[in-house]
């Protein structure tokens, strides 16, 4: 499982999941962290990843949900939505990085998970999992392609922001458009956006 869009100024945060087991053959050639691939390479990998995996899905949390819940809870919501789409229950979820954003912190005590049945599969973290684990890299590709398409589809409604190029991230043209036109409903209003009273760095 991997997330994309965490640091964007506009658009959803998205989480991809790619389920495999020992019966899956080697990953499709070229699968690696989505940030290291060109847009064309990512898109060409999607059908091959879908055929390779046992199950796959992408979940999203909207800008409004990010504003209401905060980015970490929104990541968890997107991850839960991705898992809910699978037609199987994974034995283990592997997250990229060293922070478990999928487990609800309300269920974690000083000594680990509180008593009672866990609401989902166990979660493990791995630093640079998107470089070391093909299923995590594949999940990042699926999430990146789907999220980018969602943001680009909104670009004709708000052409000044250049979303077809920057995908909602803090490119100079995007920040300048925010200063001139202000934020849209597709922006994360809780972020410190250029041109707003709270202008500054993205949290």
pLDDT at position 188 is 97
pLDDT at position 33 is 72
Annotated binding-site members for a divalent metal cation = 2-3, 96
pLDDT at position 25 is 82
pLDDT at position 92 is 94
Pick from 45, 9, 12, 2: which is nearest to 151 by CA? 12
What residues in the chain have per-residue pLDDT under 50?
109-117, 197-203
Termini Cα distance of the chain: 23
Burial (CB count within 10 angstroms: exposed 0-12, middle 13-18, buried 19+), residue 127: exposed
pLDDT at position 34 is 82
Sketch out the chain's domains with CATH numbers. Answer: 2-154 (3.30.420.10)
Annotated binding-site members = 2-3, 96
- Let me know how many helices (H) and strands (E) the chain has, helices first: 7, 7
pLDDT at position 193 is 87
pLDDT at position 119 is 62
Beta partners for 17? Answer: 57
27-85, pLDDT tens digit by residue?
Answer: 888 898 788 899 999 999 999 999 999 999 999 999 999 999 999 999 999 999 999 99
pLDDT at position 125 is 96
pLDDT at position 135 is 95
pLDDT at position 199 is 42
pLDDT at position 118 is 53
pTM for the whole thing?
0.88
pLDDT at position 179 is 95
Contacts 24+ apart (CB under 8 A), 73-80: 74/13, 75/3, 75/6, 75/13, 75/15, 75/101, 75/102, 76/101, 76/102, 76/103, 76/104, 78/3, 78/12, 78/13, 78/14, 78/15, 79/1, 79/3, 79/15, 79/17, 80/120
């Amino acid at each position: 499982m991997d997330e994309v869009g965490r640091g964007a100024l506009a658009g959803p945060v998205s989480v991809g999941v790619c389920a495999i087991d020992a019966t899956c053959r080697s990953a499709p050639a070229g699968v690696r962290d989505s940030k290291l691939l060109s847009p064309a390479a990512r898109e060409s990998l999607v059908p091959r990843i879908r055929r390779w995996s046992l199950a796959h899905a992408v979940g999203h949390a909207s800008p409004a949900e990010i504003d209401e819940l905060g980015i970490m809870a929104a990541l968890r919501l997107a991850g839960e939505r991705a898992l809910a789409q699978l037609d199987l229950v994974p034995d283990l979820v592997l997250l990229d990085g060293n922070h478990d954003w999928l487990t609800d912190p309300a269920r974690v005590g000083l000594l680990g998970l509180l008593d009672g049945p866990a609401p989902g599969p166990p979660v493990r973290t791995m630093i640079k999992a998107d470089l070391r684990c093909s299923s995590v890299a594949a999940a990042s590709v699926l999430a990146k392609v789907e999220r980018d398409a969602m943001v680009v589809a909104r670009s004709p409604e708000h052409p000044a922001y250049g979303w077809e190029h920057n995908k909602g991230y803090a490119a100079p043209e995007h920040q300048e458009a925010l200063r001139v036109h202000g934020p849209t409903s597709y922006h994360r209003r809780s972020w410190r956006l250029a041109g707003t009273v709270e202008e500054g760095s993205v949290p």
